Structure 1
Amino acid sequence: MLARNASRRIFQVRQFSGYKFPVVTQPSILQQRDSPIHKQIQRNVSSMSGVPSLSSGQEMTIDNMVSSIYDHVSKCGPENFSDEDKKNKVLQPRAISDSYRKFVIPLSTDTVKQKEYLSAMGNVRIGKILEDLDHMAVHVAYIHNSENGSLDGPMTLPRTIVTASVKRVDFHKEDINSSRDIIIDGQVTYAGTSSMQISIRLFQNDENGNLVHILKADFIMVSRDPLDGTKKIRVHGLVAKTPDEAETINQAKEHFKTMSNRDEEPTNDEFRLIHRMYNKLIARNMVNDTPVLEKSEIWMHKTMLSVTEICFPEYQNMYGKIFGGFLMRKALELAYTNAKMYCKGRVAIRSMDHIEFAKAVEIGHVLHFDSFVTYTDRKYIQVKVVASISDQNKLPELAKINNPTLGQEARVNTNVFNFTMESVDNPSILTVVPKHYVHATTYLEGRRLLNNTLKRIIN
């Protein structure tokens, strides 16, 4: 545990999913480069998504990490770079380990931080963790593209790094203790022309001092010109030093080729699934062809739960837009509330998939979140949240962009979030059923996502 009150503990190792993650708890020993502990850390390299085991180094808090991003961006000086630099400057490829960073959320010693992260259940708010993940992804991306591998130095090219999407967040443990420090580490695991994948992990010591893996996340970041957000700025490439790193890069490359299956057409098997479902619903009606539900079923549109926010300046990021971590937190908390009401009891989040940041949200926008249950399987449910904006000063403009017939009710979608939840208290939950074609496609999308989650982290 990276905290003052744990500095007396010695190095411990817990076997997790075939990989050893060392607990770094005694900096004075770890600073000795020839010590047995330091050598063991260097040997214990995990192949999990190309992220190495927790390594030694300076213990910095999450607040230090966030402030370093703002300082780095403030020194960018885009006017000092010519168009020739942006097009032709040589950007040397970096190693995966070059961008590795580790920080601490000091819940054991910082009472103010404890209150910020405390949930109604007495554990850590997952929504706050999502904000930290987003900050971490930005930090690591800037490290990868800094001149000297540190945010104290300049950028190799002027750039604004923003979150394009979140490939996945898998939760191995949701009940995070609010009085123990949390370790967050991550690094770049893929780099394209102007996009990067950042892999992040979260750890916390259990009551016995063993390091427990809490979650793993993959963020997709993009690099843009600070003077013109529509223009791409090249990023440093990535080279592999080990076979495991090469495999990680190749896997990410394949993902970028098929970034999303959100608009994937239904397969023949899926069409037959919907057909059989409606035949069954209609067969229950002895009078006409109107579908009939049983008591254990519910129409998808009946599961909708919504919330509306005003976007205040306190939610803005360093670029003057609404912080992506805030959007993820609000979406998660709405999805969690919806799932809890749906399951009539406590639920646990198991995964987040296909999180899309399609359009920036501005200060002053009216922000709408609409959530609904898209698929159910035994005690597991899939929840989708769609974020949209309306601007009271630009309603006609938004209406024209979206659909002229909507008039003053026009909204523009900005984000999509998908969550897999597990019903903890009530295994007998209602089965969601799509009523219209648009709901049927959403149902199939939710089915794919939930089945993938079950295969990946449940089964």
Structure 2
Amino acid sequence: MAHLSKTTLRRVSRAAENCARPILGRPSAVPATHRAFRTTSPSRTDGVFRELTAQRLQTPWVEALRKQHEESKNAAEKPTTPQVPKERELSPKRMDDSYHKVVLPLAQDPWLLDTYLNSSGHIRLGTIFMDLDALSGVIAYKHTGDDVTTVTASCDRIVINHPLTEICDLELSGKVTYATGRSSMEITMQVAKAPQEGQSIKNEDVLIHCTMTMVALDPATKKPVNVNPLVVSSPEEKRLYDLGERNSKVRKQRKETALTKHTPNDLESDLIHAFWQKQLQYHDPYDELRKPDNAHFMDTTILRNATIMQPQNRNRHQFMIFGGFLLKQTFELAFTTAAAFAHARPTFVSLDPSTFQNPVPVGSILYMTATVVYTDPPLIGAPGEKFDTESEYTRVQVRVDSKVRDVEHGHSKPTGTFNYTFTVKRNIRVVPRTYQEFMLYLDARRRAEQVKETLQQEGVGLSAQKAEQSVTE
């Protein structure tokens, strides 16, 4: 929680009193010819649709601060005890019990559309990602109830399925599709062109497919608590549940084989050696081979950013930042990094498995570092690997590492790693040259191969040519 000085607390208390005090002398009605000195009807749209924001921000910030001050007076005297009852009702639930949908009337409401468009008239995907994260929170609480705190543990995947060729109303929908009864649950969502009344969504109308993992915590102790398991009642639900089970196994396997725990395998070691040999040739005065013009060293692709975390982007628990805001910030930095690297407009392909490690407190400073860590086709392939060296398009994977630092004490900790893949209409390659960069490169290569295999199994994703037709950023 943010540390508050006595002066700040006095100001908060006075502000809260002023908010509650009636304004003397205000006329009961304002003539139609005059505009009252007040805001328009509150939409609180910070890139998140108001129907979702209203469920996230339920208490004004000034009131939350005052309540925190009152509770902190007795915090030292009262030990922290679990708030979640031990005898909670955890009977199995159906997937449809958590189903929720909202419609963004982008084609009908130009002022709402105004908050979703970029300078070229394309829909900003970062704002849609914020909406998806907000929607996942609504779905999670429909499954768990309000007794627990739910947080985003990871974004397993966001994939563009079909291009959106015109501005239209969008329907965001989803439900819990995997929950065994432990603390985590997988939520599957989609963004699609809103159907006409009485009609259903067609497969070709689905713009985005998304899966996120949420974890339930005790509000007081912040320790994981169990949630209701799912009961499967149809072949389609069985398919979704099996996908969730597979994703869970993939996450565990990724942790067990991570390069932070194990050395590269034989094939990867050969790849590192091949890169080293190639760079020796580049610098050998007696060898005619030089680094190609389309190859760039990894350390030259880095972009950094720092942002103060303001309360307007808080989550429903008031003192931590909303996860969707982090997705938007990291996406836009990744987009900028890919554009600077390729000198071409990137087209978003997917958000690959990414993790939220620690919460981001309101009032802290978020530091983000984006790096181009892998390109496909690569400059050098593994032994036996085939790829098109003259490909017109290149897939660019950008890794965004984030950490948070508190203003008062300067303590920092990592908050998450986000992996975005774009296509660019350029033949361009990234080249690692330090051991740390090789580890980033190999981790990205593993991720790219894994995602490619998963997308082929599920039959989702689209070509670079089709992706360019979309009106999304």
- Provide TM-score, normalisation by structure 1: 0.73
> Residue in 1 aligned with 2:447?
449
Does the CA-based 8 Å contact 1:201-1:215 persist in structure 2?
Answer: yes
Q: Is the 8 A contact 2:82 2:221 kept in 1?
A: no
DSSP-derived class of the 1:90 partner: coil
Displacement of 1:453: 3.9
Cross-structure match for 2:12: none
Whether the 8 Å contact between 2:157 and 2:212 is mirrored in structure 1 is yes
- State how far apart, in whole Å, the 1-side matches of 2:308 and 2:345 are: 29
Could you tell me whether the CA contact under 8 Å between 2:98 and 2:175 is conserved in 1?
Answer: yes
Instruction: Answer yes or no: is 1:183 the counterpart of 2:171.
Output: yes
Instruction: Please point out which of 285, 291, 313 is paired with 1:293.
Output: 291
Call closer, same or farther: CA 1:102–1:258 in 2, change over 3 Å: same
> Does the CA-based 8 Å contact 2:350-2:421 persist in structure 1?
yes
> 2:401 touches 2:417 (CA, 8 Å); kept in 1?
yes
Question: 252-261 or 234-243, which moves further after superposition?
Answer: 252-261
The answer to whether the 8 Å contact 1:86/1:233 transfers is no
Q: Give the strand-richer structure, 1 or 2.
A: 1
Deviation readout 1:241-292 (Å, 9 max, x if unpaired) = 0233223223322322342626244221111111112112213433599x96
User: RMSD across aligned C-alpha pairs, in angstroms?
Assistant: 2.8
Supply the distance in 2 between the matched residues of 1:391 and 1:285 (Cα, whole angstroms): 44
Look up the match of 1:412.
Answer: 413
**How much has 1:107 moved relative to structure 2?**
1.0
Identity %: 28
Give the gaps of 5 or more residues in structure 2: 1-47, 64-80, 196-200, 378-393, 456-460, 464-473
Offset, 1:188: 0.3
Alignment partner, residue 404 of structure 2: 389
* Structure 2 Cα separation of the partners of residues 303 and 85 of structure 1: 47
Is the Cα–Cα contact under 8 Å of residues 396 and 423 in structure 2 kept in the other structure? yes
Superposition map of 1:45-444 within 5 A: 62-68=49-55, 86-146=85-145, 155=146, 158-173=147-162, 175=164, 177=166, 179-192=167-180, 193-204=182-193, 212-229=205-222, 231-259=223-251, 261=254, 263-264=258-259, 265=262, 266-286=264-284, 293-319=291-317, 320-378=319-377, 379-395=394-410, 398=411, 411-423=412-424, 426-429=425-428, 431-444=429-442
Q: 1:214 to 1:386 in 2, by over 3 A?
A: same
> 2 CA distance for matches of 1:200 and 1:351?
14
Give the partner amino acid of 1:345.
A
Deviation per CA, 1:205-251: give whole Å up to 9, x if none. 69xx976110100010011111222x222211101002332232233
Q: Tell me the secondary structure at the aligned position of residue 333 of structure 2.
A: helix
Counterpart residue number, 1:55:
none
Q: 1:248 to 1:173 in 2, by over 3 A?
A: closer
Distance 1:323 1:71, change over 3 A: closer
Q: Give the whole-Å Cα distance in 1 for the aligned partners of 2:83 and 2:305.
A: 47
The 3-state SS of whatever aligns with 1:88 is coil
Inter-partner Cα distance in structure 2 for 1:70 and 1:176: 33
Which of these two proteins has the greater Rg computed from alpha carbons?
2
Q: Which has the higher contact order (CA 8 A, sep 6+)?
A: 2
How many angstroms apart in 1 are the aligned matches of 2:54 and 2:122? 26
Say whether the 8 Å CA contact 2:175–2:189 is kept in structure 1: yes
- SS of the equivalent of 1:245 reads helix
Query: Using the alignment, how far apart are the partners of 2:369 and 2:438 within structure 1?
Result: 17
Contact 1:282 1:292 in 2 (8 A): no
Query: How many angstroms does 1:71 deviate by?
Result: 5.5
Amino acid at match of 1:376: T
Q: 1:294 to 1:64 in 2, by over 3 A?
A: closer
- Judged with a 3 Å threshold, the aligned counterparts in structure 2 of structure 1 residues 172 and 121 are, in CA distance, closer, same or farther, namely farther
Q: How many angstroms does 1:308 deviate by?
A: 1.1
| Alignment partner, residue 13 of structure 1 | none
| Structure 1 runs not aligned, ≥5 long | 1-60, 75-81, 147-154, 399-410
Spell out, residue by residue over 1:359-389, the C-alpha distance to the aligned partner (whole angstroms, 9 max, x if none).
1111221111110100111411110001112
The 8 Å contact of residues 103 and 170 in structure 2, kept in 1 or not, is answered as: yes
Contact 2:117/2:124 (<8 A) preserved: yes
Please, what TM-score do these two structures have when normalized by structure 2? Answer: 0.71
The amino acid of 1:93's aligned partner reads P
Residue 109 of structure 1 deviates from its aligned partner by 2.2
